[in-house]
Each structure stands twice: as structure tokens, then as C-alpha cells.
Amino acid sequence: MSQPKVLVVGASVAGPMTAYWLAKAGAQVTVIERFPHLRTNGQNVDIRTVGVTVMRRIPGMEEAVQAKVLPMKGIGFVDTNGRRYGTITATGNPDQQSLVSEYEILRGDMSQVLFDLTKDNENINYVFGEQVASMKWHHDSRDGSDKEQITVEFMNSHSTTTFDLVVACDGATSRTRAIGLGCGIRDHVQSTNAWAAYYSTPKGHDLLKGTSGGIGHGYNAVGGRMLGVDAPDLATGSNRLTLLQFHPRSGGVQDPEETQSFRDAAKKGDEALRKYVSKQLTGAGWICDEAAGLIASADDFYASEIVQVKLPSLYKARFVLVGDAGYAPGPTGTGTSLAMAGAYVLAGEIHRHRGDLGAGLRGYDDRMRPIVTELQKIPPLIHSFLAPQTAWGIWLRNNIFAFICWTGFIDFAQKYFSAAFAETDKTGLPDYFGDVQ
């Protein structure tokens, strides 16, 4: 077929990555983002397993990521008095990573790296402040091919346009998925009974009081709460904070859905959500009260439910999903790597089946299915290990963790809790474009 016209929805990690590989496959790509500019907030993300493989197939990307990695040597776990009882450090080997990744970077910085790598590509056009209003499927028989296409109407000023393919890359609660599949926004979304919030302290406000030595701190409180405080940024002297709350799971990921109160607060708006998160952190011990008091004024506050997305198919006609919109992995820490792999495989299969877009989409679904299944596996005991519910559970976990750190047994333990923490890519991604370095 002639140069296909593709619409990619979302300019976070999955969107620019998908645009890069589709342009390499010969497509003319338009990327739309509903925000008026590139988003720079969000959590820390890691690049692991298949993500490392894909990153190394993009000239200059690994170096650009390394220039932006967070200045954290490891994670030290502390008790309510701030006493450190165990520490995990990076292995120094990006192909055999620990819980601490050699490629840990802020999502906003990762998006900027990918945007910078793609913004000057003549086959990629970015449109900010725009989103899909509707999609209409039809066939074009003018050239005798009877090819399927999608006509997209936009909400704002972008003119109605016909595309050969629409790719949803707009997150786990994708509006585009709902339009494209004719479903509800929460259809195919499975709760993991957990949520996370992210924000930074003001410039020069180091919650660790200069005692970190480049080691971030992690603390647990009853009720499945976990507060992570990064080592202070060398330029600003501020900390990046992550608050997680895991609710008990009984009988499956959807039962009970105790994150409903979080969702209710989110529906009421940013101020209500900040108050809700602050309330969960207040009174939890250690430095949690001080951290809670900074939420109201944090200019980069962001919070979201931790979910998995599970679809019977990753595409419908000429509509396809990449990243969290198609297979959000939940608390496994593999979302960025899955998005990078999905973008690469989608473009690679389209490239491999030149002239038959339908075969390319089928190839994408077939190739990604086992990768998604593997990287969506929630490791045994991860909830009770990361965020015990009771004081007894925290005491037991702390003592076990202190012991395995003291004995050096930590490497085995990390592999047990999640292969995503440590093991290199075993998926054998094909070299679709013949230029693996």
C-alpha cells in the first residue's frame, strides 16, 4: 500500500515511541495530545527487559536517557524512627537489574527524550490541545483495493481527517479506547485495589535532612500504606515523593474494590483528591505528617489508581491499542517497557506485512499476547511484601527483609518477587528493521 496515514492519540511515552517506529516503517504520523503542551509531571518509571532491548535499537536514546536518570544509588527501608534496617542498591548491570533500575527516569523526562527524538522527523506531526470526538469506519474502493479507513472528527480546531490506522496511546482510562471499541471507559479495566500519588517538596526542602547519602527511603504504615522519599535532587535540593496504598485482595483483583473512595475523590477534582491523599498520609508516623502538609501546595501533584487493562483483542478493524490503553500491567513496574515493546512490535509487524495492514495488526496481537501475559503477572505476595496491612505484618516483613539483606539473600528474593526486577529480555524480539546495533 502507499504511505499509510496514521493517527496516534497521546503524547506521553507510548505515543512518541509508536510514532518513531511507525515513521520508520514508512507511515505518515499525526500525534495528538489533549493537553496544550507536553506533560512533564507523573511518576518515576523504569526501563527494563524488553524496554532495554527496544531502547538500544533507537540511535541516541540510551545516552539521552542516561543523561536524565534520577540520582539515586539505592533504596533504604526505615522504621518509624527513621532507622534503616535494609538497603537495596542497583546491580550496575542494566541487563540484570534489581528493584533499583539503572534506567529510572521521571515520566515527564522520558516523554521529553522521545519528543526530542521525533519532533523534527518530516513524517511526524504533533498537534497539542486536541482530542478525538468521534470515529467512523468505512471502505475506500477508489483505487480498487477496498481498503478500510477511519474518519476522525476532533473536538477543537483540527479538521476532520481520514486515516488508515488509529492508535490509542492515551492511558489505562483511555477515552479513545471507549470510542474505538464502543465500550465504557472502565470496561476491560481491572482494579488491583491500590492507588499511587506523586509530588515533590519545594526547592531546598529536603525531608531527609541531608542524611540520605544518595539513598532514597521507604517506609510502611498500617493499612497498606507505603511512602517513598527519593534522595534530594542535586540541582534543587528537593525530594520526589511517592505514596502507595494497597488494600486487601480477597477472591480476585476486583473483589473488594476498596479504591472506590479514591475514585470518588478524583471525580470531585484536584483539590478533593489532594485532601483525600493528605488524609491517608496524616498520622502514619515517621515524617508522614510533614509530607502530608506539603501536598496542598505541590505544583506537580499527580495521583492515579493502579489498574490492569485486559482486552480480548488489541485491535478492531483499523483501530489498535498500545501501552497502558491496551495492557496496563498494574503494580508490576513494567508499564513503560510494555509500551516500548508494543510500539516496536506494532510498527515491525506492519513493516513485515507490507501492503497488508490487517495481517500486520494480527501479527501485532499474536506477538504481543505472550509478552503482555508475562509482564502482567503480579508476583506472589507482592502486596504483603510492599505494603503489609497490620503492625504485626510490618514487623514480620521488616525483620525478614533485614535478615535477607544481612545474609546477601536479597538477589534471590528479588527474582522471586518479580522477574521484571532482575531478568534481561527473554522474549526474543525480532529485528524488524535490520539495524540492531
- Burial class of residue 198 in the structure, from the number of CB atoms within 10 Å of its CB (0-12 exposed, 13-18 middle, 19+ buried): buried
According to the model, what pLDDT value does residue 262 have? 93
Are residues 285 and 338 both part of a single domain? no
In a domain, 64, yes or no: yes
Task: List phi, psi (to 5°) of 320.
Answer: -140, 155
Are residues 27 and 127 both part of a single domain? yes
Instruction: In whole angstroms, give the CA distance from residue 129 to residue 39.
Output: 11
Are residues 204 and 285 both part of a single domain? yes
Place of cell 536524565: 68
- Domain boundary, last residue among 379, 412, 432: 379
- At position 67, the amino acid (one-letter code) is A
For the stretch 36-53, pLDDT in tens is 988 866 677 778 778 888
According to the model, what pLDDT value does residue 434 have? 77
According to the model, what pLDDT value does residue 409 have? 58
For the stretch 127-178, pLDDT in tens is 999 999 999 988 765 554 557 889 999 999 899 999 999 999 999 999 999 9
In a domain, 91, yes or no: no
In a domain, 356, yes or no: yes
In a domain, 85, yes or no: no
Q: Which three cell numbers stand for residue 55?
A: 531502547
Query: Which element (helix H / strand E) includes 370?
Result: helix 357-375
Are residues 295 and 234 both part of a single domain? yes
Q: For the residues of 20-72, what is the DSSP string, one character each?
A: HHHHHTT-EEEEEESSSS----S-EEE--THHHHHHTTSTTHHHHHHTT----
Are residues 168 and 19 both part of a single domain? yes
Quote the crossing angle between the two packed helices 410-417 and 391-407, to the nearest 10°.
130
Are residues 211 and 169 both part of a single domain? no
In a domain, 94, yes or no: no
Place of cell 509478552: 371
Q: Where are the beta strands (DSSP E) in 64-180?
A: 74-78, 84-89, 104-106, 124-128, 132-140, 147-154, 161-163, 165-168
Task: List phi, psi (to 5°) of 229.
Answer: -125, 115
Q: Which domain holds residue 211?
A: 189-307
In a domain, 215, yes or no: yes
Closest CA to 193 of 115, 257, 140, 265: 257
Are residues 118 and 209 both part of a single domain? no
Are residues 363 and 263 both part of a single domain? no
In a domain, 139, yes or no: yes
Q: Are 199 and 274 a contacting pair, CB within 8 Å?
A: no
Are residues 347 and 209 both part of a single domain? no
The residues of the chain scoring below 70 in pLDDT are 1, 40-42, 71-72, 89-103, 140-146, 249-257, 380-382, 384, 405-427, 435-437
- Domain boundary, last residue among 327, 351, 379: 379
In a domain, 234, yes or no: yes
* Cβ atoms within 10 Å, residue 37: 9
- Burial class of residue 201 in the structure, from the number of CB atoms within 10 Å of its CB (0-12 exposed, 13-18 middle, 19+ buried): buried
Are residues 115 and 230 both part of a single domain? no
Are residues 209 and 128 both part of a single domain? no
For the stretch 261-311, pLDDT in tens is 999 999 999 999 999 999 999 999 999 999 999 999 999 899 999 999 999
What CATH number did the domain enclosing 275 receive?
3.30.9
Are residues 202 and 244 both part of a single domain? yes
- At position 369, the amino acid (one-letter code) is R
- Domain boundary, last residue among 379, 404, 428: 379
The number of domains in the chain is 2
Instruction: In whole angstroms, give the CA distance from residue 69 to residue 85.
Output: 26
Q: Under 8 Å CB-to-CB from 400, ≥6 apart: which residues?
A: none
Q: Kindly report the CA angle at 103 between 408 and 404, in degrees rounded to 5? A: 15
Q: Are 370 and 428 a contacting pair, CB within 8 Å?
A: no
What CATH number did the domain enclosing 55 receive?
3.50.50.60
- Strand 44-46 to strand 104-106: parallel, antiparallel, or no bridges (unpaired)? antiparallel
Instruction: In whole angstroms, give the CA distance from residue 401 to residue 409.
Output: 9
